[in-house]
Homo-oligomer: A and B are copies of this chain.
Amino acid sequence: MFLKNAWYVAATPDEIDTKPLGRKICGERIAFYRGAEGKVAAVEDFCPHRGAALSLGYVQDGNLVCGYHGLVMGCDGKVVSMPLQRVGGFPCVKSYPVIERYGFIWVWPGNPEKADPALMPDLFWAESDEWAYGGGLYHIKCDYRLMIDNLMDLTHETYVHADSIGQEEIDETPVNTKVEGDEVITSRYMENIMAPPFWAGNLRGNGLADDVPVDRWQISRFTPPSHILIDVGVAHAGKGGKDAPPENRVRAIVVDFITPETENSHWYFWGMARNFRPDDAELTARIREGQGRIFGQDLDVLEAQQRNLEAYPERRLLMLAIDAGGVQSRRVLDRLVKAE
């Protein structure tokens, strides 16, 4: 159950720098590669000659050459040539709209005619010198919607990430959920608390005192098909919270691009953008490492949850206030998939 007419993050540029990449996205087997002038391209990972995987081939003159018998596939899915063959009557394969932007390769697995670049999300932080970004990729064996649930309610931080970003005040503070068109926003504000280890580290990293009370905020924003950006941070207490002046706060955006592979597995592109000390590559690496460790803790939980749901498909789950973000996000998806 996923939208096909949508832009998904498919890969990071480094994954196709030296050779093509075969990756399944929303059930489609796709070969990604750099075509003419380094422009990213994507075609079905299926050679129309004998069914070989085109992603095992190589790029020549901007086209993907099948590594089995040398069929040359064009970026549009039409066969360009093949040694000693007339290829005019050869069947085509699908090609997929792809865009390289914001440091990611985006793909549109559905109807190419509907692939409007204007539908791409606007990620201001990815194009600003005042922000730095670091992130990674996990392959997770569960329905991508379990990850949406996970991120639209951060109560789990208290339990899954108790030693880094979790703290009791999270689940003592009610969460607020609202729906704006196709977007779902959940927010939680905690005032006059002590920063947990991860944020204390960021305060120090930004040259701020970490032993004084802070105001902490978490604002998760779901946009279809399955992108979740979370505005997070702490400010010295009473300075305005999220809107405090930069010298009193550390702010970041947790970046979550959740891309279905199959009905019960997905690619999870996670990362963090921050607007403090953006030039400090060492800090970027340290945050990335910490976040990778923290987000890795979710994997076991989600994969075990998936197995449980498969074992007991008839059981109805609860929908509490803390689940509203996930529930509303699924409603948006249900509506859009139905329209599709």
Using a CB–CB cutoff of 8 Å, the interface residues on chain A facing chain B are 22, 29, 45-46, 48-53, 56-57, 65-70, 82-85, 90-91, 149, 153, 155-156, 158-160, 171-172, 174, 300-301, 304-305, 307-309, 311-312, 315, 317-318, 320-323
Judge whether A69 and B156 touch: CB under 8 Å.
yes
Chain B residues positioned under 8 Å from A317 (CB to CB): 48-51
Complex Cα–Cα for A301 and B158 (A): 47
Judge whether A50 and B301 touch: CB under 8 Å.
no
With contacts A57-B159, A159-B68, A159-B70 known, is A52 near B318, CB below 8 A? no
For the complex of A and B, list the 8 residue pairs with the smallest distance between their C-beta atoms, beginning with the closest.
A83-B171, A53-B304, A51-B308, A52-B305, A51-B309, A49-B318, A67-B159, A69-B155
The contact of A68 among B45, B53, B160, by CB within 8 Å, is B160
Which residue on chain B has the smallest CB distance to residue A65?
B159
Could you name 5 residue pairs across A and B whose Cβ atoms are closer than 8 Å?
Answer: A50-B149, A51-B312, A68-B156, A69-B322, A90-B318
Q: State the oligomeric state as a number of copies.
A: 3
Judge whether A50 and B312 touch: CB under 8 Å.
no
Chain B residues positioned under 8 Å from A90 (CB to CB): 318
Chain B residues positioned under 8 Å from A66 (CB to CB): 159
Judge whether B321 and A68 touch: CB under 8 Å.
no
Complex Cα–Cα for A82 and B159 (A): 12
Judge whether A67 and B301 touch: CB under 8 Å.
yes
